Structure 1
Amino acid sequence: MEAEVLSGDGDRRADVLVWRPPGQLRIALEVQHTPLNFEQIDRRTRAYMSAGVPVVWLGLIKPEVLAGAEPLAGGLKITRYSVRPWEKWAHAYGMGELWFIDPVGGQFWRGVLHKHMIEVPSSSWYSSGGEEQSAGGYTRSSKRWRNLHVEGPYPPSAIGLKTFTRNTFSSRDFTVPGGRAAGFMVRAPKP
Structure 2
Amino acid sequence: MIAAFLWRIFARISGIPVAIEIQRSALSANQINARTQNYHRLGIAVLWIALPSPDLATSKYSPSAWEKWCHATYYGRVYYWDQGQVLKVVHFDPYVIEVPRSTWYEGGSERSAGGYDKRSKRWRAPRLGIPVLISASFHRSHREAWQGGTVVIPECSIYLDRQTKWWK
TM bucket (normalised to shorter chain) is: 0.7 to 0.9
Residue deviations 1:47-87 (CA, integer Å, cap 9, x gap): 2222322211111114x446xx3xxxxxxxx4111111111
Structure 1 residue 153: Cα displacement: 4.0
Higher RCO structure, 1 or 2 (CA under 8 Å, sep 6+): 2
TM-score by length of 2: 0.79
SS of match in other structure, 2:76: coil
| 1:134 and 2:134 are equivalent in the alignment | no
| 1:168 and 2:148 are equivalent in the alignment | no
Q: Percent identity?
A: 32
Q: Which structure 1 residue ranges, 5 or more long, are not aligned?
A: 1-12, 70-77, 187-191
| 1:46 and 2:37 are equivalent in the alignment | yes
CA distance in 1, matches of 2:34, 2:144: 17
Is the Cα contact below 8 Å between 1:14 and 1:28 reproduced in 2?
no
Give the aligned residue type for 1:148: P
CA distance in 2, matches of 1:126, 1:37: 49
Q: 2:129 corresponds to which residue? A: 151
Structure of larger gyration radius:
1
Residue deviations 1:32-51 (CA, integer Å, cap 9, x gap): 21223433322221222223
| 1:120 and 2:111 are equivalent in the alignment | no
TM-score by length of 1: 0.70
Structure 1 residue 142: Cα displacement: 0.7
Q: 1:4 corresponds to which residue? A: none
CA distance in 1, matches of 2:142, 2:131: 27
Give the aligned residue type for 2:18: I
SS of match in other structure, 2:32: helix
Q: Which structure 2 residue ranges, 5 or more long, are not aligned?
A: 1-5, 164-168
Aligned length: 158
